Structure 1
C-alpha cells in the first residue's frame, strides 16, 4: 500500500533518472536543463534569467533536481503543482524560471514519447507561420528609418523601432557601435542617463518620420521600457495615434496593474506589457479589465508551457492577444516553447524575434526557422525540436554580464 501523499512512478512509465544544469555563454549566457528518463529519452528546458543566471542555476541544481529524481515524467501538471505549491516560497523570477525549465523539458519528453511536435499535443496547428518582429535602431532619425526599411526588405511585416534621443549620451534599445543591440554586455552595470521630457519631445517626431517615408503598410511598434508615469504614457499614446502603431509597449511599471486603467481610457493606441511578469496573477487585472491589448510574457519566465497557456487562455476570453517576449536572452529552447504555443493558440498576435549570436548555433539546433520575416516550425520533429550539443557548450563558459541601470539627469535612480 502506498502511503498517503507519496508519489510513485507507474509500471512502464517514464521515470526521471538524471537531472543536469548546463550554463554556457555562446555569445549570450544561457541556463539549460536536461532531464533523462528510464526509456532513454532526453528533454530540454530553458531557465535563462538575464543578469541572474547563476541564481537560477543554483535553484535548479541544489533545490529542484533532488525533487525530480524518480518522478514520473508524464505527470506534467502534477509536477508543475508540486514545484509551485509545494515550497513555502512562491513565484518570483528565479522560482518561476526554474519551474519553466522543468515544464518545457517535460513537454519536450512528452512530445518525443508520442512522436509528435509539442504543438500537436496542444491541439494542433491554428496557423502555418508566425508574424515576427525584429528590432530596428539608429543613432539618428535617418539611421532608424533606414534600419526599418532594411527590415522590410528582409520580408518582415512588423518592426519595432528605437532611436537615440537627442541630448542623451545613450538610449535603451539602440545598437552600440557596429554591433547588434545587446543590453547585457559589461562585467558590471553601465549607468545610463535619462530625461523623460527629451524622450517625449522626440518619439512622436521619430514615428511620424517613419510613417511619412515608409507608409502604413506594415505593423510599427515602439517600447517605452517602463519609464513613464500613467499621465505621461497617456499623452504619448495620444500623440502617436495618427501613426497607428501596432502597439506601444511597457509604457509604465506594471506592479500596480490599475495604473493602466487611465492610460487605456485616454488613448486608442494599443498597449502591450508583460515581459517581466512571472505568473497569471501579475496580469490578471490587466487582462480581465481589458486594460491592455497584448500580453508579452515569455514562456521561459512564466512557469513554462503549462502556466503560459493559462495566461493565454485568460487573454483569449477578454480579447487580448499574444506577443511573447523573444529577446536573444531567451534561449533557442525557450523560443521553441514560444513558437509551439504561438502555432496552436487562437489569439496569436505577433512573436518578437531578435535572433541569436552565430556561436549559439553551435550549441543549439532547432526545428523552427525564419523564412521571409516569419517563423515556421516543422511538422515531423517530435518534442520542442531543439537539441543541445554539450561538448560545444563546454567551449563557451559562463561570463558575468549585467543589464544597465538608469539614472535621471539629476543622478537619482529611475526604472530601467
Structure 2
C-alpha cells in the first residue's frame, strides 16, 4: 500500500476547520484534523505547500518514520503550526491503519483500558446564579464532571461566558475584539462561585475551573488555597506555562490539583512540569502535539510521575480530533478525563461520526479506524471565514493574556 494523493479541506460550519485527507492506491483513505484556532490558513499552507509533496509514494503504515521525517527532517522544529500539520498526517495514517486492518484505532494503541471515557462539560452564566443553574442543567444531562465559569461584577465580559444565551464560542468573525480584565475582581469572585455550587449540589459532582493563563504563580497559589474547601477536580491553566518552574510556586501554596498544556506542543514543553510533579493533569491535545505518535510518548512519560491526561477538547477541534481523543482515552492506562464541548448541528452533519455520549461517559464506537468521516459536498456550502480569538487588556489598557 502506498500514499497516492492527499489534500486539505477548509470549511466553516459555524467555525473554521482544517482537515487533511490522505488517499492510498488501495482505495483506503484517512482523515486528520489540522485546525489551529485563528491561524487556520497557516497550517493549511504548511500542509499543501510543504508536507503533502513529501508524502506521495510512502507507506502509510510507517507512522514512526514519517513522524520523524516531518519533525526532524524540517530542521525548524516544534511550534503550533508545525506540530498541528504533523498531527494531521499522523491522525490520517492511524485512521488508514485501522481501516486496513478492520479495527478501531484504540485496538492499535493497546486495546481498551476502560469501558468508557469520562468527560466534563462547560457550565457558565452571566452571574453566579446563572452559572449554578447551568451546572445543574448539565448534571441533569448526565454529566459527572462540570467546569464552572461565571461573569464577574464590574467586567463586561470574561473567558468562558458567552454573550447572551448562545453556546460559548470564543472565536469571532472579523478582527479580534478586546476584553477588559481585573485579576483582583476575579480572585474575590471565584471562591464565591464554587461555594454556591457546592452548597447547591453537594460533594459528588466533579468540579473544574479554567483560569485561562491569567494569574501569576503566587496569585494562582492564593486562588488554589481559597478553593481547597471545595475540592476541585482541577484548576486549569492558572498561569502561562512557558515558564514551567512557575508551577513550583503554585504547588508550594496549594493542594488543589493543577492542569495545563493545551497550548503546548511537545514533550519538551511539559518535561519539567511532569518530572517535578508540578501538575496533576497534562492537557496537550492530539491536534497540537503531533498526533497519536507523539501524544502517546507524552502520556507514557507522564505515567512515570503519576500525572494523568486531560486532553483539550473544545469546539476549536473538529470531530476528527474528538474521535481520536476518545480512542486515545480508551487505550492509555493513565487517562484522567476528557473535555467535551458539543459541536453545533452543522458541524455534526459535515463530520458524521460513530462516537456518542451516555451518562457522563463518551464512547468512540467500534468502526474501523477513527470512525469519523467528512461530507465534502456539504462542507463546500460553508466556506472559510476569517475569525480570531479576542485580545485581553487590563483596566488600565495594558495588553494581557487572554
Report the TM-score when normalising by structure 1: 0.96
Post-superposition shift, 1:365?
1.1
* Matching residue of 2:396: 410
- Matches of residues 373-412 of structure 1 in structure 2 within 5 Å? 373-379=360-366, 381-412=367-398
Kindly indicate whether residue 171 of structure 2 is the aligned counterpart of residue 180 of structure 1.
Answer: no
* Matching residue of 1:286: 273
Could you report, residue by residue, the CA deviation over 1:68-116 in whole angstroms, capped at 9, with x for unpaired residues? 0111111000000000000121110000000000000000000111000
- Matches of residues 98-247 of structure 1 in structure 2 within 5 Å? 98-247=85-234
Distance (whole Å) between structure 1 residues aligned to residue 4 and residue 135 of structure 2 = 49
* Matching residue of 1:42: 29
Contact 2:173–2:385, Cα closer than 8 Å, also in 1: no
4+ residue runs of structure 1 moved beyond 2 angstroms? none
Kindly indicate whether residue 9 of structure 2 is the aligned counterpart of residue 22 of structure 1.
Answer: yes
User: Once structures 1 and 2 are overlaid, which stretch shifts more, 359-368 or 231-240?
Assistant: 359-368
* Matching residue of 1:80: 67
Distance (whole Å) between structure 1 residues aligned to residue 285 and residue 157 of structure 2 = 27
Distance (whole Å) between structure 1 residues aligned to residue 348 and residue 160 of structure 2 = 24
Contact 1:28–1:357, Cα closer than 8 Å, also in 2: no
Post-superposition shift, 1:52?
0.3
Could you report, residue by residue, the CA deviation over 1:102-154 in whole angstroms, capped at 9, with x for unpaired residues? 00000000011100000001110011111110100000111000000000011
Could you report, residue by residue, the CA deviation over 1:267-299 in whole angstroms, capped at 9, with x for unpaired residues? 000000000011110000000110000001110
The two structures, once aligned, show a CA RMSD in angstroms of: 0.7
Could you report, residue by residue, the CA deviation over 1:192-215 in whole angstroms, capped at 9, with x for unpaired residues? 000000000100111111111111
Partner SS, residue 245 of structure 2:
helix
Partner SS, residue 203 of structure 2:
coil
Contact 2:177–2:390, Cα closer than 8 Å, also in 1: yes
Structure 2, unmatched stretches of 5+, are none
Contact 2:313–2:338, Cα closer than 8 Å, also in 1: yes
Post-superposition shift, 1:186?
2.7
* Matching residue of 1:256: 243
Distance (whole Å) between structure 1 residues aligned to residue 277 and residue 105 of structure 2 = 30
Distance (whole Å) between structure 1 residues aligned to residue 206 and residue 269 of structure 2 = 27
* Matching residue of 1:8: none
Distance (whole Å) between structure 2 residues aligned to residue 125 and residue 88 of structure 1 = 36
Contact 1:364–1:388, Cα closer than 8 Å, also in 2: yes
Post-superposition shift, 1:366?
1.1
Kindly indicate whether residue 324 of structure 2 is the aligned counterpart of residue 310 of structure 1.
Answer: no
Report the TM-score when normalising by structure 2: 0.99
Distance (whole Å) between structure 1 residues aligned to residue 365 and residue 158 of structure 2 = 38
